[in-house]
Homo-oligomer: A and B are copies of this chain.
Amino acid sequence: MVFHYISPRAKIGKNVKIGANVIILGPSEIGDNTIIDSNVIIGYPIKANLIKIRETTKDYLEFLDLMSSGAKIGKNAIIRSGTVIYENTEIGDNLETGHNVLIREKTKIGENVKIGTGTIIDGRTEIGDNVNIQSNVYIPLLTKIGNNVFIGPGAIFLNDKYPPSKRLIGVTVEDDAVIGGGAVILPGVKIGKEAVIGAGCVVTKNVPESTVVVGNPARCICSRSDYEKRKKLYEEQRYD
Could you tell me which A residues sit within 8 Å of B by CB distance?
1-3, 5, 15, 17-21, 23, 33, 35, 37-39, 41, 44, 47, 50-51, 53-54, 60-61, 64, 78, 81-82, 84, 98-100, 102, 117-118, 120, 122, 132, 135-136, 138, 140, 150, 152-154, 156, 158, 160-167, 178, 180-182, 184, 186, 188, 199-200, 202, 215-217, 227, 230-231, 234-235, 237, 240
Contact = CB atoms under 8 A, between A and B. Distances in A.
A200 B216 contact: yes
A135 B138 contact: yes
A226 to B, nearest CB: 11
A153 to B, nearest CB: 5
Nearest to A188: B240
Given A153-B158, A166-B235, A230-B162, A20 B21 contact: yes
A35 B21 contact: no
Contact of A17 (B3, B35, B60): B60
Contact of A164 (B38, B84, B99, B178): B178
Given A20-B23, A118-B120, A154-B138, A50 B35 contact: yes
A60 B231 contact: no
A32 to B, nearest CB: 10
